[in-house]
Amino acid sequence: MSERLVTFETDGALGIVTLRRPEKFNALDIPMLRALEAALDAAEAADGVRVVLLCGEGKGFCAGGDVEAWSQMSAADFQVQWVRYGHRVFDRLARLRQPTIAVLSGHALGGGLELAVACDFRVAEAHVKLGFPETSIGVVPGWSGTQRAVRRFGAQTVRRMALGGEVFLASEALSLGVVDRVAAAGNALAEARAWGERIAERGPLASEAAKLMIAVAEGEERAAATEALASGFIALTGDIKAGVGAFKAKQKPAFSRS
């Protein structure tokens, strides 16, 4: 990975993606986003990895977008290089084939919370704070905080954070559905590992298909998910073997609907 800003490693059926910029509380800049995208590609391609954990090194999970990285950009570069590229990387995480768990051992604010929201589940330590503080510095959530977060948690909860400036502790975030489990200080990774190992015991193909179907229902993705499910089904049939075989032999296929 680029300067080891983000690493990917495997531990049995678990894949672990770790943000490694602790001196900046794992704030995201363009090199970090590129490294994260590469790590997610590696996770998706890893044989035997059935659940992916997303962690942050040091005291913070992710402080969001690095203000120094985007504040000097032109309006055009901010829109394309920052917002649109960040969306692409976060969408990559949300659409990873494996179930994902964000391990919140430190605060998740702004883009950091948007990153956690892109995961399927969130485990937060009791002291962790979560919120969308962007409007306090004159910007708006730009990496799906007003879109994916609303779909997953409801508009009113997001209003309280993005408009009202509320920052929730993990316990209140749990009651609002923003996090799924609360762990004692220092225990989020162990809790997420144990949960991930239980998830990994379930049928991997069934889990991937269920994740895709939920994504369709949620509006996360429709065209790609529908075609992936249909194509996966077709790939298991005799028709594809007959058709491809006939194509290679330059013959007319004899389909059996088997």
Task: Name the residues annotated as catalytic.
Answer: 114, 134
Measured between alpha carbons, how far is residue 234 from residues 5, 156, 209, 214, 253 in Å? 40, 42, 14, 20, 16
Q: Which amino acid is at 148?
A: R
Residue 14, SS3? strand
H-run or E-run covering 23: none
CA 246 to chain CA centroid, Å, is: 41
3-class DSSP assignment, residue 158: helix
Q: What are phi and psi of 108, to 5 degrees?
A: -130, 100
Question: Please, are residues 124 and 104 in contact by the beta-carbon 8 Å criterion?
Answer: yes
- Phi/psi-derived region of residue 137, left when phi > 0, alpha when psi is between -120 and 50, beta in every other case: alpha
Cα distance between residue 35 and residue 31, in whole Å: 6
